[in-house]
Structure 1
Amino acid sequence: MNARHQQIIQLVSERGSVSVNALAHITGVSEVTVRQDLNALEKGGFLRRVHGSAVAPQSDDVGARMQTRFALKKRLAECAAAGVNPGETVFIEGGSTNALLARELSDRQDITIVTVSHYIAGLLREKGGDVIILGGLFQKSSESVVGPLTRLCIQHLNFHKAFIGIDGWDASTGFTSRDMLRCDVVNAIMEKPTHTVALTDASKFGQIHPYALAPLTPFNQVITDSALAREHQQALTAQGITLTLV
Structure 2
Amino acid sequence: MNNRHEQIIRLVNERGSVSVSELSQLTGVSEVTIRQDLNTLEKSNFLKRIHGSAVTPDSDDVSSRLRTRYSVKQSIAEFAASQIVDGESVFIEGGSTNALLARTLATRSNLTIITVSHYIAHLLRDSQCEVIIIGGQLQKSSESVVGPLARYCIQQLHFHKAFIGVDGWHPQTGFTGRNMLRCDVVNAVMGKVTHRVALTDSSKFGLVHPYPVSIEHTFNQVITDDAIPDDARKLLIKQNIRLDLVAESHQPG
Given the alignment of the two structures, is residue 14 of structure 1 paired with residue 10 of structure 2, yes or no? yes
Q: Which residue of 1 aligns with 2:70?
A: 70
Please, what TM-score do these two structures have when normalized by structure 2? 0.74
Q: Could you report, residue by residue, the CA deviation over 1:70-105 in whole angstroms, capped at 9, with x for unpaired residues?
A: 000000000000000000000000000000000100
* Match in the other structure for 1:193: 193
CA displacement 1:152-207 (0-9 Å, x = unmatched)? 00000000000000000001001000111111111111111100000000000011
- Which residue of structure 2 lines up, in the alignment, with residue 140 of structure 1? 140
Q: Provide the C-alpha distance between the structure 2 equivalents of 1:168 and 1:60, rounded to a whole number of angstroms.
A: 14
What residue is the counterpart of 1:105 in the other structure?
Answer: 105
Q: Which residue of 2 aligns with 1:203?
A: 203
Indicate yes or no: 2:231 matched with 1:231.
yes
Deviation at 1:63, TM superposition (A): 1.2
Task: Work out the CA distance in 1 between the residues paired with 2:60 and 2:199.
Answer: 19
TM-score (norm 1): 0.76
Structure 1 unaligned residues grouped into runs of 5+: 1-10, 16-58
Report the residue type matching 1:166 in the other structure: V
Give the 3-state SS of the residue equivalent to 1:236 in structure 2: helix
Q: Residues 45-56 of structure 1 correspond to what in structure 2 (within 5 A)?
A: none
Match of 1:152 in 2: 152
- Give the number of aligned pairs: 192
Runs of 4+ displaced beyond 6 Å: none
Offset at 1:14? 2.8
The alignment's C-alpha RMSD in Å is 1.4
Q: CA deviation at 1:64?
A: 1.4
Q: 1:60 Cα shift? A: 5.0
Q: CA deviation at 1:128?
A: 2.1
| Correspondence for 2:29 | none
Listed as ranges, the gaps of 5+ residues in structure 2 are 1-6, 12-58, 247-253
Structure 1 residue 129, shift from structure 2 partner: 1.0
Using the TM superposition, give the Cα deviation of residue 229 of structure 1 relative to its aligned residue in structure 2, in angstroms: 1.0
